[in-house]
A and B are shown apart, each in its own frame.
Chain A
Amino acid sequence: MKKSTLIGAMLATSVLAGAASAQDVTLTIESWRNDDLAIWLDEIIPAFEAANTGIKLNFTPSAPAEYNAVLNSKLDAGSAGDIITCRPFDASLALYEAGHLADISDLGGMANFSPVAKSGWSTDDASVQFCVPMASVIHGFIYNADAFEELGIEVPTTEAEFFAALDTIKEDGSYIPMAMGTNDQWEAATMGYNNIGPNYWKGEEGRLALLAGAQSLTVEGWVAPYRQLARRGAYLGDGYEAQTYPDSQNIFTLGRAAIYPTGSWEISGFNNLVDFEMGAFYPPVQNAGDTCYISDHTDIGIGMNAATANSEAAITFLNWVASSEFSTIFANALPGFFPLSNASVDLEDPLAQEFISWRDACESSIRSTYQILSRGTPNLENDTWNASVAVIKGDESPEDAGARLQEGLASWYAPQQ
């Protein structure tokens, strides 16, 4: 008797729960940004749900390193969420081609984005758009402003000033001149090569020429950044060969290093960790007065699962992501991830303001290896990691590194053959 009452009660509640959820559409969002969980729960989701009654959001992030594999298996099994956070370029393009991401070229909000911003999530001929550009990261150098003041160093704008500053710090000896390690490899490539590179290959001009086959990786513009990296070894900390990315972060935030080659994504994390004044400067140019180029890399997009049952609600959500309301919330909640939309956004964080101000002062480009060039085997991005490390350690000359990468690229990329 008692038991059957209990079962009856359970049945009744489940029916009620079913009825309640039928009124609301719940969109599940797949993402690798588990760092942002709090921001989504506290700021983004309440703002959206307040403006769009009847649509609930469920943000379900997974670990960054596992995201691609997890997402692929969920999509294949048909259990993936309605909204998919998109990695830039080929990973998402492959999902679109496999029919997992919906074509959203006609989305109203898409008008707010420039072609460079959209390039991360469109087909090679730019005819189909499958994700809304959400955020980019800008490369540069963050420095310990207190240390610079103590040693009387001006913020460097040219190569010569940059190395003079490093020499001054090294001679003084109280700070490690530059916090960078080669253990994780990607630091050397992403924060090294792709950070300073656009100044030498002239940003989009060089990148597009490489894509078209008009330039090769052995020309000066692509080898010169390696020459710069080769000089860095002398300014890195003891045992930098085994220094990992978290080591570098810690060395800098503990105030043991003066300069940290990095990207804007560190800002929000570092703000809570440092007890000194931080500043930022863009990659120094070769000669005073040269145009500066920065890597303003498309990093996060957001798209719709083609198999979703709630496509109307999903489109409402994507249009909201493309709006300036979302951009403002997102940019201020996560200083360092800059909205890609043309709508103007007011940033409050001074370091983030410094980074985004370079968009006006310099020409923007994206990381050279990300679009198309890492499609074949050998993978140009992975090879660039390897070459950057080898050059910093002095195991390979800049010219040899360029020649090796060119040989690998030419082995599968027709325009370079």
Chain B
Amino acid sequence: MAVPQKPKTRWHIAVFLAPAVLVYTAVMIYPLFNTLRLSLFSEVDQTRIWVGLQNFRTLFGDAIWSEQFWNALANNAWFFVIHMLVQNPIGIALAAILSSPRLRFSAFYRTAIFIPTILSFVIVGFAWKLILSPIWGIAPGMLDAIGLKFLYQPWLGKEEYALTTLSLVSVWQYVGIPMMLIYAALLSIPDEILEAAECDGITGISAFWKIKLPLILPSIGIISVLTFVANFNAFDLIYAAQGALAGPDFATDILGTFMYRTFFGFQLQLGDPHMGSAIASAMFGIILIGVCIYLFGIQRRLRNYQFYGQLNAQSSSDNSQHDRRTCDPGYIYGDRAVSGICHPDQQFQKPSRDLS
């Protein structure tokens, strides 16, 4: 009795997508492409002219411009390195401690550590400037009280310390983000796995290194990418603490402040939207390359490592009823409901993306 029906035009898909697509296009996609377009122009005698890649040639070829650019890029890289070496390990450690069931007041610690993240960068920049100030700050007094006054330096004013100091201030502010993400990942590890490990005698700290850490590696990867993108887009803290000239002697100049200075001008320097767009495009390129390296190089290897490496090595030593070699731990990890269901004949399943 079935009457062949013409497939209906499913309007609701377009309707429901429209708000997000329109807003995203208006505030993200259009400005992005317009910036890229703007970087190919220049202004001569009040008229905008097409110059092709000339702005980029100036940026990378002209000694004055390229020196500033590489300085900003190197500073930015250092800013990122500090975050990766300090912020993320501390965040992971805090999350591991917080997820320990024996810790009391963990909700309080969690909130206290997360609060700086929701503060405005202006407040953070200003508060730390005051704390570290040689004149009014409490840092010299506190060091003096424990007899370490000789360690005090006007950190924000010295070329060799300023960038590291500001990076650490930024770490202090944002350490809550990796902590929360890792904390969530740790909570989602199925108890069965940990119990199984316990049966094999893997407990305490070695359970963290051998079981939990491999399972949260994808989260760490995501955090690394988020850190990378945020750091190479950073601007606010440096601007709030050191101003657009990113002193002392451009020691804290990162791509964001360099772009701001060029685009909007500073003091007597008139703004040059076209060179500014060229720098913004270069930043976009750098971030794009970085994210691609992660997506195509690292994320894939992370997952493979997780499948064949750690867990298989462990499961092969115990003769469990399931042949774990053909199970997909990513599958287990990603979805509790199907954990433990394994089909000996099944080939390795490629987990769909959203499982991680």
Are A242 and B268 touching (Cβ within 8 A)? no
For the complex, give the distance between the alpha carbons of A317 and B74 in Å: 53
Are B154 and A239 touching (Cβ within 8 A)? yes
Check: B109 CB closer than 8 A to any chain A CB: no
The segment from A18-26, A51-59, A178-186, A351-359 that touches chain B is A178-186
A369-B268 CB under 8 A given contacts A182-B248, A183-B247, A242-B134: yes
For the complex, give the distance between the alpha carbons of A247 and B264 in Å: 27
Residue numbers in B under 8 Å from A241 (CB-CB): 154, 157-158, 248
**Shortest distance from the beta carbon of B39 to any chain A beta carbon, whole Å:** 16
Q: Which of B156-173 contact A (CB under 8 A)?
A: 156-159
CB within 8 A of A185: which of B46, B133, B247, B265?
Answer: B247
Are B248 and A381 touching (Cβ within 8 A)? no
Are B247 and A389 touching (Cβ within 8 A)? yes
Q: Which of B246-273 contact A (CB under 8 A)?
A: 247-250, 264-271
**Shortest distance from the beta carbon of B89 to any chain A beta carbon, whole Å:** 29
Are B245 and A374 touching (Cβ within 8 A)? no
Check: A156 CB closer than 8 A to any chain B CB: no
Check: B64 CB closer than 8 A to any chain A CB: yes
Residues of A in contact (CB 8 Å), total 43
* Residue-wise interface mask of A (355-388) relative to B, using a CB-CB cutoff of 8 A (1 in contact, 0 not): 0000000000000011000110111011001100
CB within 8 A of A395: which of B129, B155, B249, B270?
Answer: B249
CB nearest neighbor in B for A176 = B135
Are A69 and B157 touching (Cβ within 8 A)? no
Check: B31 CB closer than 8 A to any chain A CB: no
B interface residue count range (under 10 / 10 to 19 / 20 to 34 / 35 or more): 20 to 34
Residue numbers in B under 8 Å from A393 (CB-CB): 248
Q: Which of A185-199 contact B (CB under 8 A)?
A: 185-186
CB within 8 A of A183: which of B248, B264, B266, B267?
Answer: B248
Residue numbers in A under 8 Å from B46 (CB-CB): 97-98
CB within 8 A of A382: which of B133, B136, B140, B268?
Answer: B268
**Shortest distance from the beta carbon of B33 to any chain A beta carbon, whole Å:** 21
**Shortest distance from the beta carbon of B166 to any chain A beta carbon, whole Å:** 12
CB within 8 A of B247: which of A184, A240, A250, A251?
Answer: A184
**Which B residues are closer than 8 A to A by beta carbons?**
46, 64-65, 129, 132-136, 140, 153-159, 242-243, 245, 247-250, 264-271
A-B pairs with lowest CB-CB distance, top 6: A239-B134, A241-B157, A242-B157, A242-B154, A239-B154, A374-B268
Show 18 A/B contacts (Cβ-Cβ < 8 Å), sorted by A.
A69-B265, A89-B268, A183-B248, A184-B243, A184-B247, A185-B243, A239-B140, A239-B154, A243-B133, A243-B157, A247-B136, A374-B269, A379-B268, A381-B268, A382-B268, A390-B249, A408-B64, A411-B64
